[in-house]
Amino acid sequence: MTEKQTSILKAALELFAQEGFKSTSTSKVAKRAGVSEGLIFRHFDNKDGLLQAIIQQGEERARLLFADIVLETDPKEVVRKTLEMGKKTSMVKEEADFWKLQFKIKWELEQYGAYKMEPLLNALINAFIKLGYDEPELEANFLTVFLDGLATRFYLDKTFDMDAVLNFAKAKYGV
Amino acid sequence: MTEKQTSILKAALELFAQEGFKSTSTSKVAKRAGVSEGLIFRHFDNKDGLLQAIIQQGEERARLLFADIVLETDPKEVVRKTLEMGKKTSMVKEEADFWKLQFKIKWELEQYGAYKMEPLLNALINAFIKLGYDEPELEANFLTVFLDGLATRFYLDKTFDMDAVLNFAKAKYGV
Amino acid sequence: MTEKQTSILKAALELFAQEGFKSTSTSKVAKRAGVSEGLIFRHFDNKDGLLQAIIQQGEERARLLFADIVLETDPKEVVRKTLEMGKKTSMVKEEADFWKLQFKIKWELEQYGAYKMEPLLNALINAFIKLGYDEPELEANFLTVFLDGLATRFYLDKTFDMDAVLNFAKAKYGV
Amino acid sequence: MTEKQTSILKAALELFAQEGFKSTSTSKVAKRAGVSEGLIFRHFDNKDGLLQAIIQQGEERARLLFADIVLETDPKEVVRKTLEMGKKTSMVKEEADFWKLQFKIKWELEQYGAYKMEPLLNALINAFIKLGYDEPELEANFLTVFLDGLATRFYLDKTFDMDAVLNFAKAKYGV
DNA sequence: AATGAATGAGTCTTCATTCAT
DNA sequence: GATGAATGAAGACTCATTCAT
């Protein structure tokens, strides 16, 4: 990955996250990245390839993000870390852009990519089993649905008080 | 609202919901609506005006949808009806398109429009007060977040079993 | 066929004939036709559609051109008119462009379109039968091959003296 | 001429013959030749230089091809060999490509290069003189025109039966 | 109200060519 | 000699919008 490749990816990430994939022209990406437009196509074949490259990075980041949770043995910690995932991924601007884009793309492409969540889901199921919940699987699913809602609100609703709801949720689960 | 105006709005709704706002050209809308392209601009000024008209319809529909819940006096019924809102709005194809579009647009425009939810939120708060919940406001917020997650999953994750999670949630709230 | 459509077709014909299909940009065509570039696509779908429109015109013109020969009853006249076809089609500039383009395209697309020649070929076979030639079919084929050579030379070889060779050929066939 | 130079020329020949000069990108040539794109420009300056190199090769090959005819003393053999030139040059795939390209280029560049044919033309004139033809010069010209037609048909008309017409022509000339 | 021809700016993409290594 | 990253201009095509009818 050369320096210019990185700057293209960075510029694309920012713009796609801000304006959306379709609304961002390759010429804008090139301008912000400080490279010629042609270079985008040499490295990523086409605009879609650029998006795919970003999505792939997303999968890697997701794996990294999940690793910390999946490897946790204390079930309460699993639940707590899962809930706080959203906060963790929104502190740094670049990272916030990144995850926002992942959600935006989901709606623009109408692909959820449930498989990416599977490791996390399993970790949650295990945790709920250990914690003696009656229906650990449903409980885990419920929680991931809530997380999706959390992201939606966090990224779209400027008036949303994430901390309050988050603390409330943590209390609910006793974590 | 003339007949042609209606058919333009209908065509736009379908296409925007399927392909997204940016990806749908006015010419496609005109073709599907069976009218000339120029007519769209005479009636809605520009492409954005067309979107605004649809969004406005959305607000009216939302009010209608919420009315049934807001007017309910039995608190359990309020919670139950709220939870089942998603199912109710996804039975008819045209309606499913409609609500899907509302979510798509939220992400494309990055406007949540929290004010639209206020009547529902208040109804929920009241219900939770009546039901004796400790923190009715947070409880209500938590529930709306969950609902947003539910919509996300329902519209994007083909493998998602909404009924299972929904029944589980209803059991949780004892409704 | 509106006025602008005609002027697009005319400009395209000239340019394709002069510079070749691939080497002529749609923007050049638009400029010469005095219309916006977009209009080309509204009327002919794509650059290829523009070419097809010209080719189709070509087929019609060819039918017209052949009609005079095919309807001729005097066999000597059939042969003579066939031989002079080349001269006839090269007097007016616009027509010369047109037929030159037909040949250019053949080489660019590698399609001969033998079926277009069939009526002429049959007329020639009949003529040679009437004239008592031993192998009328081969004789007719030989003549059409010669005609193709004539066109090649006429359009490409500036030093070529068509009249001399043509008179010689006419003498050969006694017409 | 280094090995890489040769492979560039070979790749260019094949591609230009198949797709045409304008339609073949230098990057395609480089890829097929298995060299970097830059190397083409180091060796041939620009895309046009590449074409010129191929054309020049064409002249050498033409000289070689004509030599056998020009040096022939038997006039009948001269005519026969001339007629069979087309067949001879189309047996080997690489050679067929080569001559096809020469014709394609003629039409793309609109340069006939009559001077290349001169030695052959003179040989034919001489032959027709020896054979006692009335107008040897015109006869020779007529024959070369026919040859151009033969090539046109052979390369473009898939349904064309070259052997039949060729044998007929040979019979005509009694060779 | 309604049409559809027409526009011009913009989109993604290709391509010949250059240049540092 | 050889590579391949990088460029800038140009290519085909799309699209929101206007306007005469």
Q: What is the pLDDT of residue B86?
A: 86
pLDDT (tens digit, 9 = 90+) per residue, B47-100?
999 999 999 988 888 888 899 999 999 999 999 999 999 888 888 888 888 899
Q: What is the pLDDT of residue D59?
A: 86
List the structure tokens of B25: 């050209």
pLDDT (tens digit, 9 = 90+) per residue, C13-70?
999 999 999 999 999 999 999 999 999 999 999 999 999 999 998 888 888 889 999 9
User: Within 13 Å of residue D109, how many CA atoms lie on the same side as its CB?
Assistant: 15
Residue whose CA is minimally distant from F9 C1':
A38
State the total domains in chain D.
Answer: 1
For C149, the closest of D22, D106, D149 (CB atoms) is D149
pLDDT (tens digit, 9 = 90+) per residue, D97-118?
889 999 999 999 888 888 889 9
Residues of D in contact with C108 (CB under 8 A): 20, 104, 107-108
Cβ contact, residue pair C135, D106, below 8 Å: no
**pLDDT reading at D79 higher than 90:** yes
- A132 or D1, which is more confident: A132
Burial class (CB in 10 A: 0-12, 13-18, 19+), C168: middle
Alpha helices in chain A (DSSP H): 3-19, 26-33, 37-44, 47-70, 75-88, 93-109, 118-130, 136-156, 162-173
Q: What is the pLDDT of residue A11?
A: 96
One DSSP character per residue, chain B reads --HHHHHHHHHHHHHHHHH-TTTS-HHHHHHHHTS-HHHHHHHHSSHHHHHHHHHHHHHHHHHHHHHHHHT---HHHHHHHHHHHHHHTTSSHHHHHHHHHHHHHHHHHT---GGGGHHHHHHHHHHHHHTT-SSHHHHHHHHHHHHHHHHHHHHH-TT--HHHHHHHHHHHHT-
Mean of pLDDT over chain D = 94
Specify the DSSP element, H or E, that contains C39: helix C37-44
Residue B37: CB less than 7 A from any atom in strand F: yes
Q: What is the pLDDT of residue B43?
A: 97
pLDDT (tens digit, 9 = 90+) per residue, D131-158?
999 999 999 999 999 999 999 999 999 9
D142: contact with C, CB 8 A cutoff: yes
CA distance linking residue A165 with residue A174, whole number of Å? 14
Q: What is the pLDDT of residue A20?
A: 94
User: Where residue A64 sits, what CATH number does that domain have?
Assistant: 1.10.357.10
Burial class (CB in 10 A: 0-12, 13-18, 19+), D46: exposed
Q: What is the pLDDT of residue B76?
A: 97
CA distance linking residue B119 with residue B82, whole number of Å? 12
List the structure tokens of A170: 């943590």
Q: What is the pLDDT of residue B113?
A: 83
pLDDT (tens digit, 9 = 90+) per residue, C156-167?
999 999 999 999
For chains D and B, having 3+ Cβ pairs within 8 Å is answered: no
Q: What is the pLDDT of residue C114?
A: 84
D150: contact with C, CB 8 A cutoff: yes
Band the pLDDT of D16: cuts 50, 70, 90.
Answer: very high
pLDDT means per 10 residues, chain A with 175 residues, are: 94 95 97 97 97 90 90 96 90 87 90 88 97 97 97 94 96 96
Q: What is the pLDDT of residue B80?
A: 97
Residue whose CA is minimally distant from F8 C1':
A36
pLDDT (tens digit, 9 = 90+) per residue, B162-172?
999 999 999 99
**In which residue are the tokens 């000239």 written?**
C14
pLDDT (tens digit, 9 = 90+) per residue, B113-138?
888 899 999 999 999 999 999 999 99
Q: Which nucleotides of E are covered by protein (CB under 7 A)?
A: 1-20
Q: What is the pLDDT of residue D69?
A: 95
Residue range of the domain that includes C36:
3-173
Band the pLDDT of C92: cuts 50, 70, 90.
Answer: confident
Chain D window 37-66, residues with Cβ within 7 A of nucleic strand F: 37-39, 42-43
Burial class (CB in 10 A: 0-12, 13-18, 19+), C101: buried
Q: What is the pLDDT of residue D109?
A: 87
* Closest nucleotide to the alpha carbon of B41, via C1': F17
Indicate the pTM of the whole model.
0.91
Q: What is the pLDDT of residue A68?
A: 93
C152: contact with D, CB 8 A cutoff: yes
